[in-house]
């Protein structure tokens, strides 16, 4: 495994398998001393619920300490150059978790840091989320080959990471987005290349019903992410037919399960009825962020002495 986890493309199929093996162990044995005495620095440009709490709790369960640097505390790239921040934090901490607006910022941190850097979210990728998502699929399906996940919504950082990691393990993925909101073309091309090796089937369509046909899992995300607030009204109109509701759910397999990376905007991208249904595994998925991230920290941060 590389020094850093910046995107799902940094991982090999073997890396993913090793992460999931560790995840299973750490989920059963919540308290471990694998990172005893280590320090994790959380550098956040965006506020967070799941990302911050899961990393802080995860670090503590591994025996490590965490330091949270809020947006107003560090002002990454404003008060001082990112390369200086990276080199100073590497002298103090054993690993860095960064939640940034720009993917270039987290890449620059990794470039100049001597310790491992984990991307906790950027505008292009959300690798830890996708690892938790794919692990949740495995927990419920018991396999990846022959399993179909349908994503309905915005072609955003979550989709990019699902494509990067899902195709590596042979998970078939169909994506339905409105016109003009497709996944990044270069990322899609990389996923297609990987899928040819792993025999995963990937499809893009503008029709949600087409995407969910035969799906074992349906996944959605908010229509308007942080930093896109000015687009909210337009996006609500454009994404209206991309809602995960009981009617769309009927177009998938009978026992299709529903995923959402949260926070959920109930009544927009997902109805309350579906979110609270027996087919929803969104809270299992949220819990798995904790365990997957523990596995990633254990594999990256213990390397530093």
Q: Which two tokens stand for residue 26?
A: 């750490």
How many Å apart are CA 190 and CA 113, to the nearest integer? 27
How many Å apart are CA 290 and CA 269, to the nearest integer? 24
For the question of residue 289 being annotated catalytic, the response is: yes
For the question of residue 126 being annotated catalytic, the response is: yes
150: phi then psi, degrees, rounded to nearest 5: -110, 125
Residue pair 295/23 in contact (Cβ under 8 Å)? The answer is yes
For the question of residue 207 being annotated catalytic, the response is: no
How many Å apart are CA 191 and CA 259, to the nearest integer? 21
Residue 224 in 3-state DSSP? coil
For the question of residue 221 being annotated catalytic, the response is: yes
Residue pair 192/164 in contact (Cβ under 8 Å)? The answer is no
The angle at the Cα of 67, spanning 62 to 68, to the nearest 5 degrees, equals 115
For the question of residue 52 being annotated catalytic, the response is: no
Residue pair 137/217 in contact (Cβ under 8 Å)? The answer is yes
How many Å apart are CA 181 and CA 220, to the nearest integer? 14
Catalytic residue (choose from 22, 45, 129, 293): 129
For the question of residue 99 being annotated catalytic, the response is: yes
Catalytic residue (choose from 123, 204, 221, 256): 221
215: phi then psi, degrees, rounded to nearest 5: -75, 140
Alpha-carbon distances, residue 180 vs 5, 154, 200, 208, 233 (angstroms): 29, 10, 25, 15, 16
Catalytic residue (choose from 126, 160, 260, 291): 126
Catalytic residue (choose from 50, 52, 99, 204): 99
Residue pair 42/52 in contact (Cβ under 8 Å)? The answer is yes
Specify the DSSP class assigned to residue 270. Answer: B
Respond yes or no on whether the N-terminal peptide bond of residue 263 is cis (omega within 30° of 0): yes
Catalytic residue (choose from 50, 52, 289, 291): 289
Catalytic residue (choose from 15, 260, 261, 293): 261
Query: Which residues are known catalytic residues?
Result: 99, 126, 129, 221, 261, 289
């Amino acid at each position: 495994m590389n020094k850093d986890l910046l995107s799902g493309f940094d991982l090999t199929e073997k890396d993913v398998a090793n992460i999931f093996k560790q995840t299973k162990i750490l989920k059963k044995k919540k308290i471990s001393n694998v990172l005893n005495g280590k320090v994790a620095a959380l550098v956040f440009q965006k506020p967070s619920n799941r990302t911050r709490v899961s990393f802080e709790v995860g670090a503590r369960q591994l025996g490590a300490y965490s330091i949270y640097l809020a947006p107003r505390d560090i002002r990454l790239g404003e008060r001082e150059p990112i390369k200086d921040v990276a080199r100073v934090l590497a002298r103090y901490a054993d690993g860095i978790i960064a939640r940034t607006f720009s993917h270039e910022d987290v890449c620059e941190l990794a470039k100049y840091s001597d310790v491992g850097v984990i991307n906790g979210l950027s505008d292009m990728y959300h690798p830890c989320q996708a690892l938790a998502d794919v692990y949740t699929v495995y927990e419920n399906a018991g396999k990846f080959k022959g399993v179909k996940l349908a994503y309905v919504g915005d072609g955003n950082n979550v989709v990019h990471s699902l494509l990067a990691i899902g195709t590596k393990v042979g998970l078939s993925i169909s994506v339905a987005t409105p016109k003009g909101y497709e996944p990044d073309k270069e990322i899609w091309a990389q996923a297609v290349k990987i899928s040819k090796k792993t025999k995963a089937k990937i499809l893009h369509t503008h029709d949600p019903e087409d995407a969910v046909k035969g799906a074992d899992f349906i996944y959605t995300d908010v229509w308007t992410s942080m930093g896109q607030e000015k687009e909210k009204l337009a996006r609500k109109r454009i994404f209206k037919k991309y809602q995960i509701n009981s009617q769309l759910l009927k177009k998938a397999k009978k026992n299709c399960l529903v995923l959402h990376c949260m926070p959920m905007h109930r009544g927009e991208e997902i109805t309350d009825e579906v979110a609270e249904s027996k087919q929803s595994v969104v809270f299992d998925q949220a819990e798995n962020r904790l365990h997957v991230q523990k596995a990633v920290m254990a594999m990256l941060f213990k390397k530093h002495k």
